[in-house]
Amino acid sequence: MGVFSFATIALPLLLAIFSGAANACSPSEREALLTLSSSLKEPYLGIFDSWQQGTDCCSSWYGISCDPTTHQVTDVSLRGESEDPILQKLGHSKSGYMTGWINPSICQLDKLNTLIIADWKGIAGEIPPCVAELPNLRVLDLIGNSLTGKIPEQIGNLQKLTVLNLADNKLTGEIPSSIVQLSSLKHLDLSNNLLAGEIPADFGNLKMLSRALLSRNQLTGTIPTSIGNMYRLADLDLAMNKLSGQIPAQLGKMKVLATLNLDNNMFSGAIPPAVMGNSGVGILNFSRNSLEGNIPDVFGPKSYYMVLDLSFNNLKGPVPKSLSSAKYVGHLDLSHNHLCGEIPVGTPFDHLEASSFDGNDCLCDHEVKIKFLGIFLKFLGEVPGRVAFARA
């Protein structure tokens, strides 16, 4: 009877113990994460306080998620901005600060889907090249640190990657040519780095891409015409680089393109009418380039611009009258060009500031023209003989 009682009590207890051990993260993955935390110093918020030897990284460690079946680590999500729940408790004005470097031990988590170590400002060093060997990685977000060195050359191996966000760092070198192999990529943000060289010629192979944000770098060369084949691309931001050449007319056939920022570059030549006439574009900024020729007169009832900025170029000719037929124009800036002629009347011109037209050669407001004509006729009427002369 005693043996039976012991068995009925001990057996479930042993099963529970073994079950708990089976459900915990593996010792090797726990060690890999502890090695990562040892390379990072976060003195204020206690991000790593829950990362303790002998505890289950799947159930109690901050920022770690595991597969419920295999109990392998799938997500490492460490954000330093105030939207993170642990930072919200300290008040919205708080933000994190972490120093150190990203240890290659992270690459031992071979089932990793998400790697987010973002907005910590002080994390430096290079992106471990072995990150490109994580076959299941879908999100790589390292924005807002002080990372240096190059983007891993074999980044194109990450065939499941949908988000690549390396913005606001100090990365150098060129955009790896293998990046065009990321057939699942939807969001690419490399902005505000020190990247140089040209945009890969076959960049248009990224058929799934909806956002390409490459602004505030040192990119040179021309815009690849292959970009015109990216039928899902909604946002293209190449501002504040050293790009040159002409704006490809192929950008005009991109049906879902909504934002096109090419400002602060060295583009030249005429604005392609197809690009200006793309009715899907709602934000278009070509300011501070060397564009020439007339502004294409291709606006119509489907034109809807929240921002249309062509300032600081070498454009000439009149302000297109078809702009008056646009459905909406919020912010319009045509200043500092060589435009000439009468500024059209009506919408959207009736709500624009004079600064929208400053610094042109001979633009004339309609009301100013009428007023000037009245003053001129009055002058002629007050001087004998000049009215007949003017009429002649």
Q: Residues near 288 by Cβ (< 8 Å), separated by ≥ 6? A: 263, 264, 265, 311, 312, 313
- Using CB atoms within 10 Å of the CB of residue 214, give its burial: 0 to 12 exposed, 13 to 18 middle, 19+ buried: buried
Contact 322, 295 (CB under 8 A): no
Task: Kindly state the tokens that stand for 107.
Answer: 């690459």
pLDDT of residue 88: 52
Q: What pLDDT digit, counting tens, does each position of 13-29 carry?
A: 333 333 344 558 999 99
Rounded to whole angstroms, how far apart are CA atoms 354 and 365? 9
**Which among 227, 220, 214, 224 is positioned nearest to 187, based on CA atoms?**
214
CB-CB neighbours of 313 under 10 Å: 25
Contact 374, 351 (CB under 8 A): no
Rounded to whole angstroms, how far apart are CA atoms 189 and 170? 13
Assign residue 191 a region (left: φ > 0; alpha: ψ between -120 and 50; beta: otherwise): beta
**Which among 215, 177, 179, 180 is positioned nearest to 195, based on CA atoms?**
215
pLDDT of residue 85: 57
Rounded to whole angstroms, how far apart are CA atoms 335 and 333? 6
Q: What pLDDT digit, counting tens, does each position of 283-325 carry?
A: 999 999 999 999 999 999 999 999 999 999 999 999 999 999 9
Tell me how far apart the terminal alpha carbons of the chain are, to the nearest angstrom.
132
**Which among 9, 45, 4, 50 is positioned nearest to 30, based on CA atoms?**
50
pLDDT of residue 95: 58
Instruction: State CA 30 to chain mean position distance.
Output: 34
Residues (pLDDT < 50) of the chain are 1-21, 91-94, 366-380, 383, 385-392
Contact 177, 205 (CB under 8 A): no
CB-CB neighbours of 334 under 10 Å: 25
